[in-house]
Amino acid sequence: MTARLIDGKTIAADIRQEVGEGVEELIAAGGPRPGLATVLVGENPASQTYVRMKRKVCGELGIESFGHELPADASQEEVEKLVKELNADPKVHGILVQLPLPAGLDEEAILRAIDIEKDVDGFHPVNIGRLAQKGREPLFVPCTPAGCITLLKKAGAELEGANAVVAGRSNIVGMPAALLLVKENATVTICHSRTRDLASVCREADILIAAIGRPEMIRGDWIKPGAYVIDVGINRVDDPEAKRGYRLVGDVAFDEAKEIAEAITPVPGGVGPMTIAGLMQNTLRSARRAMS
Ligand code: NAD
């Protein structure tokens, strides 16, 4: 059997187009131009790339982007002061503090300083807390995990009552993905580095979300026949034949898993493009709410 490919690139492009149209409609209706502020502390090259990509897509969709950069040795007070200024700025509808922050900064306090109405990344403790509680709705949901759920639904996965396994329990991917699956009425198992027999747990999964950060660790014979597999991992592996000397692979051994699964995301081109698309959606929603 060869699995259906869950094409995150195309799905994310459709979402971006909808957001672009939504921006025009909002402005035509007398609303504000949505604005996203990015806060980059330090010079982590991956973070610089992510912020650049986010700002570029803002430009393509008519969302105004306000880039703020602070040096790696910025103090806690400086970062929080900037966040508070952005909270007060009516042109800013979303505030994105690029993670990870340099060592020494209190990440939770900085995320808590963001006005929850502008928490388009969904990492404010109140938004995460609401995600964890029955009957409570967060204002915003973290974009990568939300993208995983969108991909599953677009692929036609039945989430209600399904056995879902999330490999990884990080604050930014694994844990919120698991909470979202619970909200969808799946029966969820969360695995992590101390899980005794990851392979056996994965073999029970109707839905498998892999967010570990280990190249191709999840093998084909760990996949339950007919499972839906969402591979969040983005890992560089050396490849002398590739132009850059490396290629990107996921946490799942794609070529093996595709023979067993019902549907699977590729890496790249699966979950990756969904993150920025979700951020743009959240920024538009926030601007709409500011209008109403
Ligand atoms: P992380 O390092 O914060 O967390 C990794 C998790 O995997 C931890 O909970 C850890 O317990 C678990 N883990 C590690 N080794 C394990 C093992 N042997 N068995 C079972 N569990 C194990 O990573 P993260 O930030 O959650 O990111 C995970 C992956 O997703 C990375 O490859 C990252 O690049 C990728 N990622 C992609 C996107 C995107 O596509 N937009 C966004 C964020 C992260």
Residue 86 has pLDDT above 80, yes or no: yes
- Mean pLDDT, to the nearest integer, of 45-63? 97
From the list 269, 178, 260, the residue with the least C-alpha distance to 219 is 260
Per-residue model confidence (pLDDT) at position 292: 84
226-248: per-residue pLDDT in tens? 999 999 999 999 999 999 999 99
Percentage of the chain modeled with pLDDT above 70: 100
Q: Which atom of ligand 1 is nearest to the CA of 275?
A: 41
- Mean pLDDT, to the nearest integer, of 177-188? 98
Percentage of the chain modeled with pLDDT above 90: 99
Fold of 143-273: Rossmann fold (3.40.50)
From the list 119, 122, 117, 120, the residue with the least C-alpha distance to 290 is 117
Q: Which atom of ligand 1 is nearest to the CA of 147?
A: 41
Q: Please state, rounded to an integer, the average pLDDT across all residues of the chain.
A: 97
134-179: per-residue pLDDT in tens? 999 999 999 999 999 999 999 999 999 999 999 999 999 999 999 9
Test site for ligand 1: of 234, 248, 279, most ligand atoms within 8 A of the Cβ: 234
From the list 282, 286, 289, the residue with the least C-alpha distance to 57 is 282
Q: Which atom of ligand 1 is nearest to the CA of 272?
A: 40
Per-residue model confidence (pLDDT) at position 194: 98
Per-residue model confidence (pLDDT) at position 253: 98
* CATH 3.40.50.10860 residue ranges for the chain: 30-115
Per-residue model confidence (pLDDT) at position 1: 61
The residues facing 209 across adjacent strands are 166, 230
* CATH 3.40.50.720 residue ranges for the chain: 143-273
Per-residue model confidence (pLDDT) at position 106: 98
Test site for ligand 1: of 50, 198, 212, most ligand atoms within 8 A of the Cβ: 212
From atom 18 of ligand 1, which residue's Cα is the shortest distance away?
193
- Mean pLDDT, to the nearest integer, of 71-76? 98
Per-residue model confidence (pLDDT) at position 287: 98
- Mean pLDDT, to the nearest integer, of 10-33? 98
Amino acid identity of residue 201, one-letter, is V
> What is the 3-class SS of the chain, one letter each residue?
CCCEECCHHHHHHHHHHHHHHHHHHHHHCCCCCCEEEEEEECCCHHHHHHHHHHHHHHHHHCCEEEEEEECCCCCHHHHHHHHHHHHHCCCCCEEEECCCCCCCCCHHHHHHHCCHHHCCCCCCHHHHHHHCCCCCCCCCCCHHHHHHHHHHHHCCCCCCCCEEEEECCCCCCHHHHHHHHHHCCCEEEEECCCCCCHHHHHHCCCEEEECCCCCCCECHHHCCCCCEEEECCCEEEECCCCCCCEEEECCECHHHHCCCCCEECCCCCCCHHHHHHHHHHHHHHHHHHHHC
Distance CA 292, CA 273 (A): 30
Helix axis angle, 143-154 relative to 272-291, nearest 10°? 110
What CATH number is given for 30-115 in this structure?
3.40.50.10860
Q: Find out whether 40 and 99 touch, Cβ atoms under 8 Å.
A: no
Q: What six digits make up the tokens of 65?
A: 């982007």
92-148: per-residue pLDDT in tens? 999 999 999 999 999 999 999 999 999 999 999 999 999 999 999 999 999 999 999
Task: Give me ligand 1 centre to Cα 164, in Å.
Answer: 17
What pTM was estimated for this model as a whole? 0.97
